[in-house]
Amino acid sequence: GQNIDQPTEMTATEGAIVQINCTYQTSGFNGLFWYQQHAGEAPTFLSYNVLDGLEEKGRFSSFLSRSKGYSYLLLKELQMKDSASYLCAVDFNKFYFGSGTKLNVKP
Amino acid sequence: GAGVSQSPSNKVTEKGKDVELRCDPISGHTALYWYRQRLGQGLEFLIYFQGNSAPDKSGLPSDRFSAERTGESVSTLTIQRTQQEDSAVYLCASSPRALSSYEQYFGPGTRLTVT
């Protein structure tokens, strides 16, 4: 792998904002993906960052800093249905996934 | 149209037996990917196809694993002489082309249990 690290688990409250970080120790990759995976289901695409900076898509935003070796996924106005695992993946034409961050949203 | 489909959805096999897992990608998608996901872990990239060719097979865990694709459509992942460590969910994904900017669409997976 490419030493992709994510926190194992996070808990946040409905309506709040949460930031899920992904750090990596590699360079020269094409871009970085974020996927959402509900328990027992297949992953679904959230975002893909090529350039440094923030990409916003509704309640979800993703940020990439190649020079600092990290990305984050920002979820706003959390809803109960956002409880899921969030996977970051580095794209080298092969794809290296982190182990995922399990997000628990509480009322 | 239909999404990515995989069969079987569940497979229980005895250690030492061979298994075949099937993936039907979205029609027209030329790229196809296989991943393995062990319980509570992230996705492990196994192999990808661009058309019927697999440019890089180095992600396959051992020589017991092989994959093929025909007609730029269906793909089969074969595991020979299964071991208990092969127990996992095997996910297939497809995308319009094997370029990084294209999102991958995942199938529901095949849950393999080796007893």
**Which band of pLDDT confidence, cut at 50, 70 and 90, is reported for residue B26?**
very high
Q: What is the spatial distance between Cα B22 and Cα B9, in angstroms, rounded to a whole number?
A: 10
Q: What pLDDT score was predicted for residue A91?
A: 84
Q: Which chain A residues are closer than 8 Å to B100 by Cβ?
A: 30-31, 48, 50, 91, 93
CA distances from A57 to A50, A63, A82, B26, B82 (A): 15, 11, 15, 25, 43
Q: Where are the beta strands (DSSP E) in B55-99?
A: 65-69, 75-79, 88-95
Give the chain A residue nearest B104 (alpha carbons).
A45
Dist. CA B98–CA B104, nearest whole Å: 9
Q: Do A31 and B48 touch (CB under 8 A)?
A: no
| Residue A2: band (very low, low, confident or very high) from pLDDT cuts 50, 70, 90 | low
Q: Closest Cα of chain A to B92: distance in Å? A: 9
Q: Contact B108/A41, CB-based, under 8 Å?
A: yes
CB contact burial A63-90 (16+ within 10 A = b; e otherwise): bbebeeebbbbebeebeeebbbbbbbbb
Q: Distance of CA B82 to CAs A89, B60, B91, Å?
A: 28, 14, 17
The mean per-residue pLDDT over the stretch B73-82 comes to 97
The residue in chain B having the minimum alpha-carbon distance to the alpha carbon of residue A43 is: B106
Residues of A in contact with B101 (CB under 8 A): 30-31, 48, 50
Measured between CB atoms, does B91 come within 8 Å of chain A?
yes
Q: Do A43 and B43 touch (CB under 8 A)?
A: yes
Cβ atoms of residues A87 and A34 within 8 Å: yes
Q: Are A98 and A107 in contact (CB under 8 A)?
A: no
Check CB contact of B96 with chain A, cutoff 8 Å. Answer: no
CB B106 within 8 Å of CB B6: no
C-beta separation of A93 from B98 below 8 A = yes
| Residue A103 reports pLDDT greater than 80 | yes
pLDDT for res A77: 97
Q: pLDDT per residue over A13-44, tens digit each?
A: 999 999 999 998 877 888 899 999 998 888 99
Distances (CA, A) of B98 to A76, A91, B36, B45, B60: 32, 11, 19, 14, 18
Q: Is the pLDDT of residue B1 over 60?
A: no
The alpha-carbon gap from A5 to the nearest alpha carbon of chain B, in Å, equals 11
Cα A74 to Cα A90: distance, rounded to the nearest angstrom: 18
From the list B43, B56, B100, the residue facing A97 with the nearest CB is: B43
